[in-house]
Amino acid sequence: MNLVGNLAPITRFGLVNMSATADHFIYFAFGSNLLKERLQLANPSAIFHCTGRLKQDYTLNFGLWGEHIDNRWHGGVATIEQKEGGEVWGVVWRMSNDHLASLDQQEGVDRGMYFPLEVTVETDDGALLCRTYQMNRFHACPPSPQYKQVVCLGAQQNGLPVQYVRRLEEASLLADSHLLVVRLWFVLHACMVLLKCLIIYV
């Protein structure tokens, strides 16, 4: 079996499968976990490996999951969506398997917010198979200023392409009025559902 250093086997497709080994896994971050300090709060074993972009046709988007209308960031958070011609850059982190559970928890896997998947990431050293996360039941919502700042700081910190960083910086922000409209819509939706239930059972 061919090895790259002592890291991971090369698959029959020529990709380096670094998503999981006996003691570590490789994680592709594209949102707030671009920022080292943010990721290492709950996952101190995270070590920068390289930067890269998704080989598949994906695009970056911001939103909320399910019927949720708010979160601790007070706005949309990053996810990836399949889109022909799309491009998503990010950071490949090497992490101890001891922190797989804490990363899943941070991404809300147990609550159904995100689901893990394996993606192909193109890097200067070749294509890597990495773990990443995609939002369930996504609906678009602009990011808050504080969330956008963390994402942009992480992109700059790790030297993502200038044009890509500029696109992140130009992402629309969530205005207070927009969030109010979203909240009112979901409150109205909940009231309509409750009214239907009352009509059925009365």
Q: Within its chain, how far is the Cα of 138 from the centroid? A: 12
CA quadruple 167, 170, 174, 178: dihedral positive or negative? negative
* Residue 64 buriedness (CB in 10 A; 0-12 / 13-18 / 19+): buried
Q: Which residues are catalytic?
A: 107
Distance from C-alpha of 37 to C-alpha of 27, rounded to nearest angstrom:
16
Q: Within its chain, how far is the Cα of 113 from the centroid? A: 11
